[in-house]
Chains A and B, each alone.
Chain A
Amino acid sequence: MSHLLFDAKLTEALRMDGDLPRVPVNRLQRKAQEQNVNYLSINNENSLASISDGNSPRSAKSAHSGSFIDYKSPGRGKSPARNKTPGLVAPKLSVRGAGQKTPGRKTPGRKTPTTPFNQQDRFIPNRSTTDLERSHQLLVNNMEASGGEKNSEEDVLTLQEKEYREKMTENLNDGQQPDTRILSFKNKAPQGKEGHVNNLKVLYSAGKPMVPKAASTRHIPNVPEKVLDAPELVDDYYLHLLDWSTNNHLAVALNSSVYIWNGGDGAITALTQLVDPDYICSLSWIKEGNVLGIGLSSGVTQLWDVAQQKLIRTMDGHQNRVTTLSWNAYILSSGSRSGHIFNHDVRVAQHHVSTLQGHTQEVCGLKWSPDGRLLASGGNDNQVNIWEKGSTTPLHTFTEHQAAVKAVSWCPWQNNLLSTGGGTADRTIRLWNCTTGICLKDVATNSQVSSIVWSSHYKELVSGHGFSNNQLTIWKYPTMAKVADLTGHTGRVLELCVSPDGEMVVSAAADETIRIWKCWAVDKKDKKQADSSKGHPISMFARTIR
């Protein structure tokens, strides 16, 4: 009879713990309990506890919870103590347990995360990435599932083993199902190009507050005056493939040939065609507009008489392609991929008069100041150097740009005012006072700056941009407020030039078109005045070359 009573009590005790299956205790388990077998397992401690305190179902349950703690943290000193005095602890616990549906489950859940830190000697080197909550949940589920099953010695051992294995797989697979393999191909995909700048950066900064807009004082047509086709225009940021002469000749380099577009009558003449592997890297008109300098990929610089369509002179010296040219009277400066800048005196046989070494990488922007006193050079090493005429050490070195500086332009009406623009990683326009070497202004444009030109009539400058809008932006000096955006190009703008009358800006872009924008139209009255006061320029080159 008493045997049956005990059985009933035990069943009830088990039932109180909500998550346990509501089945009578297995016969084998019961046997083990009756025999008071002292196994290693928690389940046996569990049953021992329930027997030793078997009078009250509540205390039996609390012993359950205690044993769970035991099981989860065998290394702790607290739990065994609790087990030793189940009679004392049990009532306390049972009060709390009465309010909670599954006290046994919650307690270990709260405690487990702390265990790994106390157990430094475990086989798991780092558990910070392990989802302990989940592993515990799995463990508890497993225990509950097997809780009602037979409790033979074998089972006990496998349970521990199971725990070990499960933890192992949990840690190795990071919570994956054990029957899954994660495979990856041994030959990995190549990594992105070093120095490749994620284009999206431009988009991410595009939402930033824009520069102030200048009040409009005149009409600026937002469509180009003229669109010229430029097939095979090389889409290379570092090259200078467009220049407009004072004789109203627009020179364009399309891969290996040079074409001259006459701005007056629209006639196009082909000037030269190179032999195949060579291509043209830079063009520059002499101030007088009768001689065109051409920099080639082979490192050679050619001088062409455009009226005669004749090659006047070939100057070599550079080991690498000549990416940029700039004239200062009879001096032609050329920048090369090697980072050297050569000054050629085109009048004399020994044309190579000096070398300027200041850049460690390709020189991509080069401009003499209008007064011919200073030379500004921008390089792929993110530097801008200012050179005084005749000196071979830079007067100033500006390192503020974060990307290649291609856009270099002097202000025509204010001495020593230089504007520079940085590439994709930089996207700023900076204005410099080159007497003092102070940065007067920096403007974030949110896009690659490929070229800058200044107006001679207005206090304005135009910059050409790349991704994402491929626009030309007109800025007011000195506020650097935005006057207008000229959009239309579908590829990045590569180069800008001003027409000889200063009213138009021409842009060459990667979409293989050349567009002419009449953004600086001048009132006819003003123009007449300006013309009469100017007089005819005397060609210094013409005077000195023959």
Chain B
Amino acid sequence: MAGNKQGTQNSITLKGSAQLVTEFFNFGINSILYQRGIYPPESFTYQQQYGLTLFTTTDEKVKEYLNNILEQIKDWLEAGEVQRLVLVVTNVDTEETLERWDFDIQHESGFEPGSLKEGKMGTKDLKIIQKEMRDVIRQITACVTFLPLLDCVCSFDLKVYTNQNAEVSDKWADSAPCFIANSQEVRLKSFSTSIHKVEACVSYKADV
């Protein structure tokens, strides 16, 4: 399924695009967890991706959690049900939201969920897509320089914004959006697979 994107040059199917976006989320989320120090750095291993050395968690529980979610997100991406993926960092003791990493997912024009049945393909070079993804991840890494220190035990949660009529298994529950009152927002770069467009943004508590 993912092989399609490499088989024919410069053509990306919806499935391939969903795969790419999910893969990006995996590395993006892992990068955030590592860079923000939510889990101890010892629990991460490194791996080459997008021409960067990226850290991915080795903690079995975190891994399982991420895999579960990303698999579901992939399905939803293919069905065109996801609007947004949000990573929320909360203080464990006070349950206050400290950071909010927002990945807004849009469909490029011509690839709206309804109109995609005819097997239409995107035309973007995989290398260019990966370069764009790399730039976003680089920016995530660079965010450490301005984000306030998370000087407490933190946990993270992933929130998926879906359409009202999306198929949801009972493993999922509705949740609050966990906005940060009085937040500062920094828009990051975006990337597009020519089918999905993902815009990243981080908001954090401004008054420290």
**Given the contacts A176-B177, A182-B174, A201 and B149 also touching, CB distance less than 8 Å:** yes
Instruction: Please choose the segment from B4-12, B18-26, B61-69 that sits at the chain A interface, where 4 or more of its residues have CB less than 8 A away.
Output: B61-69
A180 touches B161 (CB 8 A): yes
Contacts of A199 in B (CB 8 A): 37, 40-41
Q: Give chain A interface residues in 197-223, CB to chain B under 8 Å.
A: 198-201, 203-204
Cβ contact of B157, chosen from A184, A198, A201, A203, cutoff 8 A: A184
A296 to B155 CA separation, bound complex (whole angstroms): 36
Instruction: Please choose the segment from B124-132, B163-171, B197-205 that sits at the chain A interface, where 4 or more of its residues have CB less than 8 A away.
Output: B163-171
A524 CB–B CB distance under 8 Å: no
User: Which 10 pairs of residues, A with B, have the shortest CB-CB distance?
Assistant: A191-B155, A198-B37, A184-B175, A189-B65, A183-B172, A190-B61, A179-B164, A204-B149, A196-B40, A183-B160
B177 touches A182 (CB 8 A): yes
The 8 A CB mask of B85-107 against A (1 = contact, 0 = none) is 00000001000000000000000
Can you report 20 A-B residue pairs in the complex whose CB atoms are below 8 A from each other?
Answer: A129-B179, A174-B179, A181-B161, A181-B163, A181-B164, A183-B172, A184-B158, A185-B72, A185-B158, A186-B172, A188-B65, A190-B155, A191-B154, A192-B38, A192-B153, A196-B153, A198-B37, A198-B149, A198-B151, A201-B151
B144 CB–A CB distance under 8 Å: yes
**Given the contacts A200-B144, A201-B151, A183 and B175 also touching, CB distance less than 8 Å:** yes
Contacts of B68 in A (CB 8 A): 185, 187
Contacts of A181 in B (CB 8 A): 161-164, 166, 168, 174
Cβ contact of B40, chosen from A183, A190, A192, cutoff 8 A: A192
Beyond known contacts A180-B163, A204-B149: 17 more, CB 8 A cutoff: A173-B177, A179-B163, A180-B83, A180-B162, A181-B168, A182-B159, A183-B160, A185-B68, A185-B69, A188-B155, A189-B62, A192-B154, A193-B39, A196-B39, A199-B37, A200-B149, A201-B149
B155 to A, closest residue via Cβ: A191
**Given the contacts A196-B40, A200-B37, A184 and B173 also touching, CB distance less than 8 Å:** yes
Give the distance to chain B from A23, nearest Cβ to Cβ, in Å.
33
B176 touches A174 (CB 8 A): yes
Cβ contact of B160, chosen from A173, A176, A184, A198, cutoff 8 A: A184
Give the interface of B toward A (CB within 8 A).
36-41, 59, 61-62, 65-66, 68-69, 72, 83, 92, 144, 149-151, 153-164, 166, 168, 171-177, 179, 181
Give the distance to chain B from A34, nearest Cβ to Cβ, in Å.
42
Q: Which of B150, B153, B168 counts the most A-chain CB atoms under 10 A from its CB?
A: B153
B171 touches A187 (CB 8 A): yes
Give the distance to chain B from A214, nearest Cβ to Cβ, in Å.
31
Q: Which of A179, A180, A181 counts the most B-chain CB atoms under 10 A from its CB?
A: A181
A188 to B159 CA separation, bound complex (whole angstroms): 11
A129 to B181 CA separation, bound complex (whole angstroms): 7
Contacts of B171 in A (CB 8 A): 185-187
Main secondary structure of the interface of A (DSSP, over half): loop
Cβ contact of B59, chosen from A174, A185, A190, A200, cutoff 8 A: A190
A185 to B64 CA separation, bound complex (whole angstroms): 12
B153 touches A194 (CB 8 A): yes
B161 touches A182 (CB 8 A): yes
Cβ contact of B174, chosen from A129, A183, A188, cutoff 8 A: A183
* Total A-B Cβ pairs within 8 A: 108
Give the distance to chain B from A180, nearest Cβ to Cβ, in Å.
5
Contacts of A189 in B (CB 8 A): 61-62, 65-66, 155-158
A284 to B136 CA separation, bound complex (whole angstroms): 51
A184 touches B65 (CB 8 A): no
B163 touches A184 (CB 8 A): no
B65 to A, closest residue via Cβ: A189
Cβ contact of B159, chosen from A183, A186, A193, cutoff 8 A: A183
Give the distance to chain A from B138, nearest Cβ to Cβ, in Å.
18
B63 to A, closest residue via Cβ: A189
B61 touches A180 (CB 8 A): no
A185 touches B37 (CB 8 A): no
A270 to B68 CA separation, bound complex (whole angstroms): 49
A129 to B, closest residue via Cβ: B181
A530 to B36 CA separation, bound complex (whole angstroms): 53
Give the distance to chain B from A192, nearest Cβ to Cβ, in Å.
5
Contacts of A193 in B (CB 8 A): 39-40, 153
Give the distance to chain A from B59, nearest Cβ to Cβ, in Å.
7
Q: Which of A173, A174, A182, A183 counts the most B-chain CB atoms under 10 A from its CB?
A: A183
Cβ contact of A190, chosen from B41, B62, B163, B181, cutoff 8 A: B62
Contacts of A191 in B (CB 8 A): 92, 153-155
A174 to B180 CA separation, bound complex (whole angstroms): 11
Give the distance to chain A from B73, nearest Cβ to Cβ, in Å.
10
Give the distance to chain B from A1, nearest Cβ to Cβ, in Å.
54
Contacts of A183 in B (CB 8 A): 159-162, 168, 172-175
**Given the contacts A181-B174, A185-B172, A189-B65, A198 and B163 also touching, CB distance less than 8 Å:** no
Contacts of B59 in A (CB 8 A): 190
Contacts of B173 in A (CB 8 A): 183-184, 186
A185 touches B65 (CB 8 A): yes
A77 to B162 CA separation, bound complex (whole angstroms): 44
B40 to A, closest residue via Cβ: A196
Give the distance to chain A from B102, nearest Cβ to Cβ, in Å.
12
Contacts of A194 in B (CB 8 A): 153
A191 to B, closest residue via Cβ: B155
B158 touches A182 (CB 8 A): no
A204 to B208 CA separation, bound complex (whole angstroms): 14
B37 to A, closest residue via Cβ: A198
B159 touches A184 (CB 8 A): yes
B168 to A, closest residue via Cβ: A183
Contacts of A188 in B (CB 8 A): 65, 155, 157
Contacts of B151 in A (CB 8 A): 198, 201
Contacts of A185 in B (CB 8 A): 65, 68-69, 72, 158, 171-172
Contacts of A174 in B (CB 8 A): 176-177, 179
Cβ contact of A192, chosen from B65, B155, B164, B181, cutoff 8 A: B155
Cβ contact of B65, chosen from A129, A173, A187, cutoff 8 A: A187
Give the distance to chain A from B22, nearest Cβ to Cβ, in Å.
15
Give the distance to chain A from B145, nearest Cβ to Cβ, in Å.
9
Contacts of A200 in B (CB 8 A): 36-37, 144, 149-150
Contacts of A192 in B (CB 8 A): 38-40, 92, 153-155
Cβ contact of B164, chosen from A180, A187, A190, cutoff 8 A: A180
Give the distance to chain B from A335, nearest Cβ to Cβ, in Å.
24
The 8 A CB mask of A135-175 against B (1 = contact, 0 = none) is 00000000000000000000000000000000000000110
Contacts of B154 in A (CB 8 A): 191-192
Contacts of B181 in A (CB 8 A): 129
B39 to A, closest residue via Cβ: A192
A194 to B172 CA separation, bound complex (whole angstroms): 27
Give the distance to chain B from A92, nearest Cβ to Cβ, in Å.
39
Give the distance to chain A from B45, nearest Cβ to Cβ, in Å.
15
